[in-house]
A and B are shown apart, each in its own frame.
Chain A
């Protein structure tokens, strides 16, 4: 069965520091991978997605993620975070792009401190 694991439930970081949010997936088939962000009192917004091609994917707000097939990982990174990046981040996977089969991780709370 397919699953998505986000290894950290909370990540505190100071403003302008780099950050990495970790995500591992398990699947016996090819998957599409996503990162979503949820700001307080809002729904989820797509940050970036990996469908095929280059393993380094760039998204909105300066975030990027790297697909590593051998390690079954899709970690999210940003070289310098802002206070406004404080939010919940969700990694998700779906087989063959079927969004009705999208599986989410439990989320990582990123708290950026001044």
Chain B
């Protein structure tokens, strides 16, 4: 139990599908993050939310749409993805943006 739970663990979707990734943290943290982990590449920070406000958006394509309804939940809505979007998507949380990250186990996404 990492304190940060991601669902689903695996997801296969076609390029025309719409799906959502879910992240829930049970640590009472105020900041949540989405990272993309592709093979042989450094982790890429996608979005950061602090106190439910988006504070970081690293030039992510609009086919990725985050949502943070409260400090415990974070979603990543996906639509019209491309095969190169296949990766492990990691959610993390921290007490605030100046505190260490706690990662979930990730969602392995495959776009066909």
Contact = CB atoms under 8 A, between A and B. Distances in A.
Q: Do A and B bind each other?
A: yes
Interface of A: 4, 9, 34, 41-46, 49, 90, 97-100, 102-107
Nearest to A92: B43
B45 A44 contact: no
Given A97-B98, A99-B97, A100-B97, A43 B42 contact: no
A44 B41 contact: no
Contacts of B43: 44, 90, 104
A98 B106 CA distance: 22
Contacts, number: 56
Contacts of A34: 100
B48 A100 contact: yes
A90 B92 CA distance: 15
A106 B4 contact: no
B90 interface: yes
A5 to B, nearest CB: 10
Given A42-B105, A43-B90, A46-B100, A102 B45 contact: yes
Nearest to B108: A41
A103 B41 CA distance: 12
B25 to A, nearest CB: 12
